[in-house]
Amino acid sequence: MRKTALLILTVIVFHLLTFGQQEVTNANGQEIVLLKDGTWIYADSVPFYGIKATPISKLEIPKTNSRDIIITHTGFALLYNETHEQASWVAYELTKDETTKRYERTDKFIPDPKVKTGTATDKDYKGSGYDRGHLAPAADMGWSSTAMAESFYYSNMSPQTPSFNRGVWKRLEELVRTWAIENNSVYIVTGPVLTANLTTIGPNKVSVPNYYYKVILDYTEPGIKGIGLIIPNTGSGALLQQFAVSIDSVEKFTGIDFFPLLPDEQEEMIEKTVCIQCWSWKSVAPTSEKEENKTSTAVQCAGKTKTGDWCKNKTLNASGYCYLHELQQGNQNNTETKKPKTQTQKRSSSVQCSGITKAGSRCKRMTYSPNGKCSQHGGD
């Protein structure tokens, strides 16, 4: 018996060294998948391991109707939502080769010339307290100077809280690039969850979403798989696994039908299942709280001076406020710059509270508090 087991093990090791990842059958007739790192798993424990991929053009494009106008750029396609002045979805394939950055960020935000009805502009975001958050990340477009420039179109922007855009959303973008490298390529659809009665900013009434989503499809054999993530538009230090859901769940939450070009049986199987262990989750937690609250690109401070003018300082703080004006956004953790309440001055005019309710939406109360929040959300 021991000789038989030794012989089987020798055959397995031979296959592994000679061919890399292989399927073999053990002494009990069970299929085993041999992995390149020397480990193995039972083949029937891997969802969709037996699915065969077939070439499908524009696989990343969600289902559309005859009235929808899909706008195609060098690195991504999108469906623009005129009501909310941003894209309902942005879709693209990201290959391993495309994760190699060859061109730097342009940081030149401009209207999308292909959106005939017009997009948001600088005026909509200026002074709003929200970041111009990329849907298709600029870092995913570094393989082409044109793709990089087009990633700064306002059709690819959505109002995101600074702590979300520069924190958990950035971590997710970095993780998806890791998945593209590990799986050779992935198909990505991402966007805001657009619903009625959202808070708006600017003269064009750009909606501020409460949630954002990403759905990712690895359609490369072996081990084809898909996953969805839904994240509130607020800062979070939680592990990204905690936001993972099935693609079916994202479809129900957004009303969008993803990957409709997949064969029906494959689409049903892939989209109803979420397999956390099928994906790597390397470097998904921030290295430190300080790193989570910093951004690599300086932005103009969102604070106001005593004369009522916008502060001209640049800051790396995720809050969007420089050290002189952190008090205006109610940074409860900063004890060095916080002044006693007796020294604070009320605003000359009321503003909408920047706090977030338990339901995940922006508070609708007005406040004169210098930190921009009403009494229920930590106002001064």
How many Å apart are CA 170 and CA 134, to the nearest integer?
10
How many Å apart are CA 341 and CA 355, to the nearest integer?
19
**Residues 60 and 188: beta-carbon distance below 8 Å:** yes
Write down the catalytic residue from 84, 134, 325, 377. Answer: 134
Q: With left for phi above 0 and alpha for psi between -120 and 50, is residue 211 left, alpha or beta?
A: beta
If one counts every other C-beta atom within 10 angstroms of the C-beta of residue 178, the result is 17
Give the residues across from 32 on adjacent strands: 24, 42
The reply to whether 134 belongs to the active site is yes
If one counts every other C-beta atom within 10 angstroms of the C-beta of residue 280, the result is 13
Check the CA dihedral 148-152-156-161 and report its sign: positive
Give the residues across from 232 on adjacent strands: 211
Q: How far is CA 143 from the centre of its chain?
A: 19
**Residues 150 and 276: beta-carbon distance below 8 Å:** no
DSSP-derived 3-state class of residue 46: coil
Record the tokens describing residue 285, joined without a space: 């937690």
CA angle 123, 129, 131 (to 5 degrees): 75
How many Å apart are CA 119 and CA 122, to the nearest integer?
10
How many Å apart are CA 362 and CA 204, to the nearest integer?
19
**Residues 232 and 210: beta-carbon distance below 8 Å:** yes
CA-based max dimension of the chain: 88
Give the residues across from 31 on adjacent strands: 25
Give the closest residue to 8 by CA, choosing from 37, 39, 29: 29
DSSP-derived 3-state class of residue 57: coil
Active site residues: 134
